[in-house]
Amino acid sequence: MVVRQLVVIASLLLAAVVLQTTVLSRLGLPGATPDLVVVTVVAVALALGPGPGALTGFLGGALLDIATPSDAIVGLASIVLVAVGLAVGVFMDREESNIWVMSLVAGAACGGAALATALLSAVLGSERIVWDVVPGVTLTTVLYGLILGRVTIPLVGVLSRRLVPEAYLD
């Protein structure tokens, strides 16, 4: 059922955005902030496929850009995360069972999203990008994404199997 799927996706995203802005960004970790929203998009795309993955990316990006502390260009994160959700959903096999391969995909998605966001916002005229920090930020976000993926992907998998079982019928 589409509505139930939407509710699950929306709750996951709300939890991810709140955790990312309150807890993860204040841990004071070196480099990037652990990108739970990207990892959630990857997890949903792995569990439910490219369509729901892209939708999650769109909603997650929009929420991230308009929720309180953000001053990014609204819509940029949506574009990047739609691409992430689509690519993961299309290119990853749903039957993939090795959790570390999936976590690696989450890490790579975080790195790709960070780079793409930096490039796109520079193209659109943002003066904020500090280029000599970008490599460090990208590397650390890959690492944090890998770790978060190891926890988040199985969790989202179990949740979606239980809450939207009809998506697994085919």
Instruction: Give the interface with other proteins as residue ranges (CB under 8 A).
Output: 14, 17-23, 25-28, 31-33, 35, 50-51, 54-55, 57-58, 61-63, 65-76, 78-79, 82, 86, 89-90, 114, 117-118, 124-130, 133, 137, 141
- Minimal distance, residue 91 CB to other proteins, in Å: 11
- Minimal distance, residue 3 CB to other proteins, in Å: 16
What is the Cβ-side half-sphere exposure of residue 59, based on CA atoms within 13 angstroms? Answer: 20
Distance between CA atoms of residues 13 and 96, nearest Å: 23
Between residues 99 and 108, which has the closer beta carbon with respect to other proteins?
A: 108
Between residues 68 and 98, which has the closer beta carbon with respect to other proteins?
A: 68
Between residues 99 and 120, which has the closer beta carbon with respect to other proteins?
A: 120
Longest dimension (CA), the chain: 49
Q: Which of left, alpha, beta for 49 (phi over 0: left; psi -120 to 50: alpha)?
A: left
CB 53 within 8 A of CB 85: yes
